[in-house]
Structure 1
Amino acid sequence: MNQTTSAIPNPNKALWEKGDFTRIADTMRESGAALVSKLGIKKGLEVLDLGCGDGTTAIPAAQLGAKVLGVDIARNLVEAGNKRAKAHELTNISFQEGDATNLESLHDQSFDLVVSVFGAMFAPKPFDVAKQMVRVTRKGGKIIMGNWIPGDPTLVAQILKISSSYTPAPPEGFVSPMLWGVEDNVIERFTNAGISRENISFSRDTFTFNAQFSPSELVNTFKNYYGPTMNAFEAAEKNGKESSLLSELEALFNSQNRSNSENTTSIPATFLLVTVER
């Protein structure tokens, strides 16, 4: 009957439990805190951070006094988030496993603010994701998304574009996460979830990847710890193209580095900032 259902692997969960995204997140902390500082967070505000990783935006929100729940599909990132919260001596934040397409454990209208920065965009079934975010947000509350933009010339869109050229074609029915970076798609998904068009607004913002090591070392960090790039290198290796992929990524990272030192990295990446008024 249904005995094998729970054993069916979730490819999205497997992708984000692969490697160790905390290594990438370590280069994103400053921009995460800067973005949170603009969201008008006050003490006592109830915040859901969806696709939170190990807390790049969730922990700064808690430090501003919000009561924060971080939800991520990857068990290792949830564990890392709870560990970081404990290290920061924060008692107003917790992290738990969950799927952005089905937040069944969360009650309707239970959060003042739902945040998802480069998180929920990677979940499948984007219309379900939008419905879930709207469902758990209180009337008068907000949803804030940060989404990478397809075709954008800056870092992350180009990493994903280069990586995809080395990997097999996605399965039938696959919806690119990058479509969350297209305004018309965002409007369609949220209006389908019951939001009026006039309550959806957009702007462009920048996340900067800062590291105390060279761009080439940052490429190696993506190669060894970032699920999509790890998959690309595995596929490229099977086709004898690993060195070609490495060369393309090193050229990209070096050309976009804005640091004045060869041994440090500062690479800005443009994203679409989505604001939804509930």
Structure 2
Amino acid sequence: MNPNQALWEKGDFTRIAASMRDSGEVLVSRLGITKGLKILDLGCGDGTTAIPAAKLGAEVLGVDIARNLVEAGNRRAEELGLTNCKFQEGDASNLHELKDDTFDLVVSIFGAMFAPKPFDVAEEMVRVTRPGGRIVMGNWIPNDPTLVAQILKISAAYSPPPPEGFISPMTWGIETNVIERFGSAGAAKENISFVRDTYTFNFPDKPSDLVDAFRKYYGPTMNAFDAAEKTGRGSDLQRELETLFNNQNKSPSNDATSIPATFLRVTVQA
């Protein structure tokens, strides 16, 4: 199996996505979506941004490499009666099933950044966007002090070194890399813009329970715990993550969690 597919099918990201719904709706509300707009949501998960976009009347296709998330997305759309939203399996670095110049807006929020071959990802995103359309990416920022960058940094310290040739997904959070990748796909530098934005994880239980959700259902954290347990360091990893989550929790209640995380929002005008 494709290692990236194995990573995202390993857990059940829908359990984490539940804490991301509010911010997904807020982000989509800022994108100027109108009825009939053709949207591709790449690395869509179970529809955290695809479904709010469809609710605004857009024609939305969600593509994700994880088959369980595609099934979950189609189930959510059906339950909501959204006939204008469908999900299918696909690889962000090779969208061979999609035609050139198809979409008015290509969105990827913490999705395509995790696909291998980032130059291929940029090329495919540009290829399927119609002239005059837009690409919007949300990417975590390396070494940022907020939640997700720190989860991934801590997890990496307990994990074996990546295979030779591995390109960290966090490199998508560096502006010069983004310019280089989209530039190689034909996008002009002056058509690429950046904003630091915030995504908030809202969870109805205490921070340690959210840590447990990441441990059980989030592929990268699951792999980190698998590696840490083999060296007898599982409790150390648990403690580090609980400290992180507790320190960053902004909820006024000890029994609820609200943690903001900074990300790089990229807009490319095609």
Same fold by TM (over 0.5)?
A: yes
| Counterpart code for 2:268 | V
Once the two structures are superposed, what CA deviation does each residue of 1:9-33 show, in whole Å capped at 9, x if it has no partner?
2000000001100000000000000
Give the Cα–Cα distance (whole angstroms) in 2 for the partners of residues 234 and 122 of structure 1: 20
For 1:5, the equivalent position in structure 2 comes to none
For 1:54, the equivalent position in structure 2 comes to 46
Give yes or no for the alignment of 1:213 onto 2:202. Answer: no
Alignment of 1:71-220 (within 5 A): 71-220=63-212
Give the Cα–Cα distance (whole angstroms) in 2 for the partners of residues 27 and 84 of structure 1: 16
| Counterpart code for 2:90 | G
Match of 1:64 among 36, 56, 73: 56
| Counterpart code for 2:128 | V
Give the Cα–Cα distance (whole angstroms) in 2 for the partners of residues 18 and 179 of structure 1: 23
| Counterpart code for 2:45 | G
Give the Cα–Cα distance (whole angstroms) in 2 for the partners of residues 216 and 35 of structure 1: 27
| Counterpart code for 1:55 | G
Question: What is the alpha-carbon root mean square deviation over aligned residues?
Answer: 0.3
Once the two structures are superposed, what CA deviation does each residue of 1:128-171 show, in whole Å capped at 9, x if it has no partner?
00000000000000000000000000000000000000000000
Aligned pair count reads 270
Match of 2:25 among 33, 53, 66: 33
Give the Cα–Cα distance (whole angstroms) in 1 for the partners of residues 10 and 269 of structure 2: 34
Give the Cα–Cα distance (whole angstroms) in 2 for the partners of residues 16 and 10 of structure 1: 10
Give the Cα–Cα distance (whole angstroms) in 2 for the partners of residues 31 and 256 of structure 1: 17
Give the Cα–Cα distance (whole angstroms) in 1 for the partners of residues 14 and 61 of structure 2: 18
1:87, CA displacement in angstroms?
1.1
Structure 2: 5+ residue runs without aligned partners? none
Give the Cα–Cα distance (whole angstroms) in 2 for the partners of residues 21 and 235 of structure 1: 20
Structure 1: 5+ residue runs without aligned partners? 1-8
Q: Secondary structure at the match of 1:90?
A: coil
Give yes or no for the alignment of 1:253 onto 2:237. Answer: no
| Counterpart code for 1:247 | R
Once the two structures are superposed, what CA deviation does each residue of 1:76-131 show, in whole Å capped at 9, x if it has no partner?
00000000001111000100000000000000000000000000000000000000
List structure 1 runs of 4+ shifted beyond 3 angstroms. Answer: none
Match of 2:221 among 208, 229, 233: 229
Q: TM-score if structure 2 supplies the norm length?
A: 1.00
| Counterpart code for 1:107 | K
